[in-house]
Structures are given as C-alpha cells and as structure tokens.
Amino acid sequence: MKPNIIQLEGKKLIGHKLTMSVENNLTAALWGKFMPRRNEIKNRVGTDFISMQIYPKAYHMNFIPEREFQKWAAVEVSDFDNVPANMESFILTGGTYAVFDYKGSSSDPTIFQYIYNHWLPNSKYELDDRPHFEVLGKNYKNNDPNSEEEIWIPTKKV
C-alpha cells in the first residue's frame, strides 16, 4: 500500500478529548460523549469526522502499551466563533502527511503495523512531531471490514 504525500494547510477543529493509552483504550467513551452533541457545532466544514491522536515525543520509537496520549473526537470548522459549552478548539498545524486510503475494520491494528514497521523505515520519510489523525467520511463504518477511512501520518523528509 502506497500513501499519497500531501502538504496540509492546517485545520480548525472542535470536539472532545481524553487522555488514554492503548492498554486503557477509552475511544468508545470519547465518541459516545461527542456524537450526541455533534449537531451543536454550527460552523462545520463538510460532514467528515476527525479522530486525532497527539502522542508524546518518541512515542513510536519506544512503544509501551501503558504510555498515555491524547485522543480527540472532532470535526473541522470554519472558525472558533461558537464553540459549544464543554467542547474545546484545536488548531491542527499544517505540514507534510503520508495519507493511506484504508479499507478494513478500525479494530484491526495490522495497517498501523505496516505503516510504522514496513512503509516508514523503507521510505524517505520519518515521523514528525505533530498530531496523527484519521478522516472518517461517509464510507466509515466502525469495526466493519468494509469500512473506509484516510489515515494521516505526519512526516518529514529524512
């Protein structure tokens, strides 16, 4: 699987965040909190959802399942003029991303194993210290083998 290399301009996001780890995965709780309130966000750009992870430095170099990171359930917005109560805003800065068009279950970790253990070490890129995210569009179906999403990995040239 070969990614598209894309220069992202940046995005404004509104949503909820939680601190979690792979071992203590709170993704279902995060989305369970966000989805009932998604329609309160009036200045959305498009209909896609963003699942974003903000990892500590060198998180992937020395992977430990208990190590915590921040995860967001969010949508892109045009501005921050009307952030609903108890939601937060985030500016996703631009940069180079390797974008993988993935079809398969979101619970199957093999795509990430391929990206970090095969594609990245054999590419002319390395991880950059910026958020990772997935774009969950109209063909996304949670835990369904026919689900489709875009996986955005922050990169920089070696």
Indicate which CATH number applies to the domain containing 78. Answer: 3.20.80.10
- What is the number of domains present in the chain? 1
Single pTM value for the model: 0.95
Residue that has been written with the tokens 């993704």 in this structure: 27
Structure tokens, 45: 């750009």
Q: Which domain holds residue 11?
A: 4-157
pLDDT of residue 25: 95
DSSP string, 33-88: HHGGGGGG--SBSSS-EEEEEEPPTTTTTT--TT--EEEEEEEEES-STTPPTT-E
Q: What is the C-alpha to C-alpha distance for residues 12 and 50, in angstroms, rounded to an integer? A: 11
SS3 15: strand
pLDDT of residue 127: 95
As averages over each run of 10 residues, the pLDDT of the chain (158 residues) reads 95 98 96 97 96 93 91 98 97 97 91 94 96 97 94 96
